[in-house]
C-alpha cells in the first residue's frame, strides 16, 4: 500500500513539474513580444534582454505615417512659418536625436510638419513635429547652409528634393543600434542610426554636413559651421 502511494506521489509531482514548465514557456513566449499602438501605426517586435514592454515610444507624434494626428496643434509656436523641407530637428536626450523635415503637408484640410527619422525599436518612419513635441522634447531647428558666400568654402548648392527622396527610400528599414559614428552614405544600408541617415542623405546629394568630424553623432551634426540654428518663437496667442 505504502509502495503504491509513493509511486503515485512521484508521478503526481512529475506531472506538476511538467505543467509548471509548460506554463513558464508559454508566458515567456507572450512576453517576448512588444506591441505598441503608436498613433496611426503599430510596432510589434521582440524584446531585448533588458527591455520592457514600455520601452517603445508611446507619444502620438511618433510613427504617424502620412496622416496628421488629431492631437497635433500649431497655435503655440510659429513652426509652420519657420520650418522648411530639409531642416534638421535636434532633440537633446542622453545621446541626442536627429530627424529631418520631409515637408509641410495637408491632411483633412490641416497643415502639418512631417518628419522622417530612424528610431530605436521602430526603425525609419514618418513622424510629426508640432507644438506638443517641441514643448515635451525640446526640439530645435537647424538649417543646412547651402550656396556660396560668407567665406565657408565647403558650402555648395544642394538639391533638397534629392535629400528628401533618399530618406523616403529608406522608410521601413531598421534602426542601427550598433552604429559607432562611421560615415557610410550608401542607400543599400539595411539599417540606420538617426544622424547617420540624415548625414547620408545630404552626402549623396553632394554635401558633407560634418566635414571636420570623423563621426556623425547628433551633437556634432548641429555644432558645425554648416548647420545654422533657426529660432522658434511663441505666437502672440500662444500659451
- Specify the CATH number for the domain of residue 99: 3.90.1720.10
Give residue 180's pLDDT.
67
Q: SS3 of 239, please?
A: coil
pTM for this structure? Answer: 0.72
Query: What stretches of the chain show up as alpha helix (H) in DSSP?
Result: 2-31, 79-82, 131-137, 160-169, 194-204, 218-222
Q: How far is 168 from 162, CA to CA, in rounded Å? A: 10
Examine residue 83 and state whether it is found in any structural domain, yes or no. yes
Examine residue 17 and state whether it is found in any structural domain, yes or no. no
Q: Structural domain tally of the chain?
A: 1
Examine residue 38 and state whether it is found in any structural domain, yes or no. no
pLDDT digits (tens), the chain, 239 positions:
544 444 545 545 444 444 444 333 443 333 322 222 222 222 222 323 333 333 557 899 999 999 999 999 999 999 999 999 999 999 987 779 999 999 999 999 999 999 999 999 899 999 999 999 999 999 999 999 876 544 344 446 789 999 999 999 999 999 988 776 667 778 888 999 999 999 999 999 999 988 888 778 899 889 888 899 999 999 865 44
Examine residue 41 and state whether it is found in any structural domain, yes or no. no
Q: What DSSP designation does 6 have? A: H
Q: How far is 178 from 124, CA to CA, in rounded Å? A: 15
Structural domain boundaries enclosing 72: 61-230
> Which of 221-225's residues contact partners 24+ apart within 8 Å by CB, and which partners?
221/88, 221/90, 221/98, 221/142, 221/195, 222/88, 222/90, 222/98, 222/140, 222/142, 225/145, 225/152, 225/154
Give residue 17's pLDDT.
42
Examine residue 200 and state whether it is found in any structural domain, yes or no. yes
Examine residue 202 and state whether it is found in any structural domain, yes or no. yes
Give residue 24's pLDDT.
34
Examine residue 81 and state whether it is found in any structural domain, yes or no. yes
Residue with cell 521601413: 172
CA distances (Å), origin 84, targets 28, 36, 202: 46, 30, 15
Give residue 212's pLDDT.
81
Examine residue 139 and state whether it is found in any structural domain, yes or no. yes
Amino acid at each position: 500500500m505504502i509502495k503504491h502511494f509513493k509511486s503515485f506521489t512521484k508521478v503526481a509531482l512529475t506531472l506538476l513539474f511538467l505543467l509548471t514548465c509548460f506554463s513558464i514557456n508559454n508566458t515567456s513566449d507572450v512576453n517576448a513580444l512588444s506591441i505598441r499602438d503608436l498613433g496611426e501605426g503599430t510596432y510589434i517586435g521582440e524584446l531585448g534582454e533588458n527591455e520592457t514592454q514600455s520601452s517603445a515610444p508611446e507619444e502620438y507624434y511618433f510613427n504617424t505615417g502620412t496622416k496628421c494626428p488629431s492631437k497635433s496643434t500649431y497655435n503655440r509656436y510659429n513652426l509652420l512659418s519657420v520650418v522648411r523641407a530639409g531642416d534638421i530637428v535636434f532633440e537633446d536626450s542622453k545621446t541626442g536625436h536627429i530627424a529631418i523635415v520631409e515637408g509641410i503637408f495637408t491632411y483633412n484640410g490641416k497643415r502639418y510638419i512631417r518628419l522622417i527619422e530612424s528610431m530605436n525599436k521602430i526603425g525609419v518612419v514618418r513622424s510629426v513635429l508640432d507644438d506638443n513635441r517641441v514643448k515635451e522634447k525640446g526640439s530645435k531647428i537647424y538649417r543646412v547652409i547651402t550656396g556660396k558666400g560668407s567665406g565657408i568654402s565647403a558650402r555648395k548648392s544642394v538639391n533638397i528634393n534629392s535629400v528628401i527622396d533618399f530618406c523616403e527610400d529608406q522608410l521601413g528599414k531598421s534602426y542601427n543600434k550598433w552604429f559607432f559614428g562611421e560615415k557610410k552614405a550608401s542607400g543599400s544600408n539595411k539599417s540606420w542610426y538617426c544622424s547617420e541617415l540624415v548625414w547620408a542623405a545630404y552626402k549623396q546629394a553632394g554635401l558633407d554636413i560634418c566635414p571636420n568630424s570623423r563621426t556623425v553623432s547628433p551633437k556634432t551634426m548641429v555644432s558645425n559651421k554648416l548647420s545654422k540654428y533657426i529660432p522658434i518663437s511663441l505666437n502672440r496667442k500662444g500659451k
